[in-house]
């Protein structure tokens, strides 16, 4: 009996000793972890980031958002475009992952934004999705020849944007790209074949649309709610006009230059338009629309 009791006491003692050792190890680990975290936090708090000029070209200044305490940590770059007109320079931000894409920036002091075909020695091929979304400082955009794509929502709700120049090098204008801007006119470049969803929706000052090339598709809601737009010519190249493409626009005259355009729905055009010239629905001629019915004018 005594032997068994002694063994039981020893077993309990070993268990207590093991528990105390484990507790000491755990406390030591926590202490080291806390010490490491404090050191890391202290180092992080020692960072002081600022825009640092790294290269100056004739009309470009490259700046890097870098830690100025000497730890060589950077958090992005931007390019200041120096203009000759004496106003404050515009700022462009290349995409951190694809340097040929512009991901944001600010116009110059006059509200003019130039998207160059080359920036800091890199060919610029596109404007990124939502790059300038909701930027109320932009009044005019000039895109230089060589840029190929305008991303989805690139200038969405740029409510003071009244003028844009798009070169024929552009092949794609993304959905919602110029939605709810103050554009008064637009020239669709020659190499754009599709006007995407809501691209110019609710551009209420848009009074003139010109197709320079062979657009084949005008997408859903592309020009809906463009209340200042009263007349438009649809090129013969257009084969499809999407649902509500011109709904709630100010159109009273639509001239179809081809015979093979498919209209997705009568609501593609404004209901109750007083005069719509169409070629051809039922042979060359002029047609009026009342409700869902198109009637040839004698």
Please report whether residue 20 resides in a domain.
yes
pLDDT score at 25? 46
Same domain, 2 and 135: no
pLDDT of residue 276: 55
Q: Is the pLDDT of residue 266 over 70?
A: no
Residues 6+ apart with CB under 8 A from 246: 222, 223, 224, 226, 229, 232, 254, 268, 269, 270
Same domain, 20 and 103: no
Is 243 found in the same domain as 112?
A: yes
The region of weakest confidence among 105-109, 114-118, 193-197, 288-292 is 288-292
Domain span at residue 23? 1-45
pLDDT at 23: 52
Is 229 part of any domain?
Answer: yes
Judgement on whether residues 101 and 31 belong to the same structural domain of the protein: no
**In Å, what is the CA distance from 14 to each residue of 2, 23, 24, 142?**
18, 14, 15, 81
Residue of 34 and 172 predicted with greater confidence: 172
Is there a single domain that holds both residue 41 and residue 107?
Answer: no
Residue 65 in any domain: the answer is no
Q: Is residue 60 part of a domain?
A: no
Q: Is residue 85 part of a domain?
A: no
Residue-level pLDDT at 29: 46
Least confident stretch, 54-58, 99-103, 229-233: 54-58
Q: Is the dihedral of CA 266, 270, 274, 280 positive or negative?
A: negative
Kindly state whether residues 36 and 133 are assigned to the same domain: no
If asked whether residues 162 and 233 sit together in one domain, one would say: yes
Last residue of a domain, one of 10, 29, 45: 45
User: Domain tally for the chain?
Assistant: 2
Strands 194-195 and 163-165: unpaired
**What is the pLDDT at residue 53?**
84
Q: Is residue 68 part of a domain?
A: no
Q: What is the mean pLDDT of residues 194-222?
A: 96
Same domain, 142 and 29: no
**Residue 77 belongs to some domain of the structure:** no
Assess whether 39 and 106 both reside in one domain: no
Is there a domain that residue 78 lies in? no
292 and 148 assigned to the same domain: yes
Residues 1 and 101 reside in one and the same domain = no
- Mean pLDDT on 246-271: 77
Q: Which pLDDT score is estimated for 84?
A: 73
Residue, of 27 and 162, whose pLDDT is higher: 162
pTM: 0.77
Predicted local confidence at residue 271, as pLDDT: 62
Same-domain status, 33 and 164: no
């Amino acid at each position: 009996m005594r032997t068994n009791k002694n063994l039981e006491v020893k077993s309990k003692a070993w268990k207590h000793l093991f528990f105390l050792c484990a507790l000491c190890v755990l406390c030591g680990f926590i202490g080291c972890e806390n010490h490491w975290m404090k050191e890391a936090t202290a180092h992080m708090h020692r960072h002081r980031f600022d825009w640092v000029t790294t290269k100056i070209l004739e009309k470009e200044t490259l700046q890097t958002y870098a830690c100025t305490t000497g730890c060589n940590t950077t958090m992005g770059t931007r390019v200041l475009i120096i203009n000759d007109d004496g106003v404050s320079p515009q700022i462009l931000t290349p995409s951190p992952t694809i340097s040929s894409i512009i991901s944001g920036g600010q116009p110059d002091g006059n509200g003019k934004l130039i998207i160059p075909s080359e920036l800091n020695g890199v060919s610029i091929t596109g404007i990124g999705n939502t790059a300038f979304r909701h930027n109320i400082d932009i009044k005019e955009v000039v895109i230089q020849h060589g840029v190929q794509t305008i991303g989805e929502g690139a200038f969405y709700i740029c409510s003071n944007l009244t003028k844009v120049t798009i070169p024929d090098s552009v092949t794609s204008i993304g959905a919602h790209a110029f939605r709810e801007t103050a554009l008064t006119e637009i020239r669709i470049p020659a190499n754009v074949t599709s006007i995407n969803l809501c691209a110019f929706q609710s551009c209420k000052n848009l009074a003139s649309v010109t197709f320079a090339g062979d657009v084949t598709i005008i997408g859903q809601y592309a020009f809906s709610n463009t209340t200042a737009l009263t007349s438009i010519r649809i090129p013969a190249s257009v084969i499809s006009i999407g649902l509500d493409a011109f709904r709630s626009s100010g159109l009273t005259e639509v001239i179809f230059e081809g015979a093979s355009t498919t209209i997705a729905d009568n609501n593609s055009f404004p209901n109750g338009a007083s005069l719509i010239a169409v070629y051809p629905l039922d042979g060359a001629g002029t047609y009026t629309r009342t409700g869902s019915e198109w009637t040839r004018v004698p």
